[in-house]
Amino acid sequence: MTLQVRQVSKTYRGAGKCVQALLDVSLQVSPGELLAVHGASGSGKSTLLLCCGGLLMCDSGEIIVDGLCPYALGHRRRTAFRAEKVGFVFQQFHLIPYLNVLDNVLAASVKRNSPPSRERAMNLLEQFGMHDRLRHFPGELSVGERQRVALSRAMVNAPPLILADEPTGNLDPKNSRVVFQALRDYAESGKAVLVVTHEDVSLSLAHRTLMLDRGRLENQESRG
């Protein structure tokens, strides 16, 4: 599955001000690839990720995921499309505080009550060294442990695309490398992974890196 971003622009308007978050951004992420978009805070990274994930409509341009434009789908179909095709990893984790580790991962599963989903969730948590924390709640976990739970949740449906927004922003160097290596390994299993980050660890572990500066993508890719 390929993600294509074609000449996407997005402007935020309000209180008499306009902020150009993205300007004619084009890129492509192919199966087997981890692409890191590197940029400072305020460069438009999170806006780019939200547009790619079908969560924020751009002003112009196209987002194509697996041959479809999510914004051409109705609300229900777009929600189902995201659940099946896209895994999200956010800097703030967004774990459900009253669910334990295992149930937080299963909450994202499209077939959460099936034995295969439960088995996959447990296998992912074991892979990330969380097998002895299944019944713990998010408030009982370290920052690095919460991020590993968030990664497991993003991967539980084996989505063909993962979008990660500053996935190591709250982590120490050791845990940052663990997270990026897990995302690289996931990509190399035949999936597409797009990470937006300001962390330098991405420069050594991503298959490709592009720079985003004030909404403009340096080394702009040609339209596919």
Q: List, for residues 1-30, the tens digit of each pLDDT value.
A: 799 999 999 999 887 788 899 999 999 999
Alpha carbon distances (Å) from 38 to 113, 197, 198, 202? 38, 5, 5, 8
Query: What does the block give as tokens for 88?
Result: 């999200």
Q: What is the pLDDT of residue 206?
A: 92
- CB neighbours (10 Å) of residue 47? 22
DSSP assignments along 92-115, one per residue:
T----TTS-HHHHHHTT-TTTTSH
Residue type, 152: S
Fold exhibited by the domain 3-217: Rossmann fold (3.40.50)
Give every residue of the chain whose pLDDT is below 50, as ranges.
221-224
Q: What is the pLDDT of residue 109?
A: 83
Structural domain boundaries in the chain? 3-217
Distance CA 70, CA 154 (A): 19
Q: What is the pLDDT of residue 110?
A: 67
Q: What is the pLDDT of residue 97?
A: 95
Q: What is the pLDDT of residue 204?
A: 83
Q: What is the pLDDT of residue 222?
A: 39
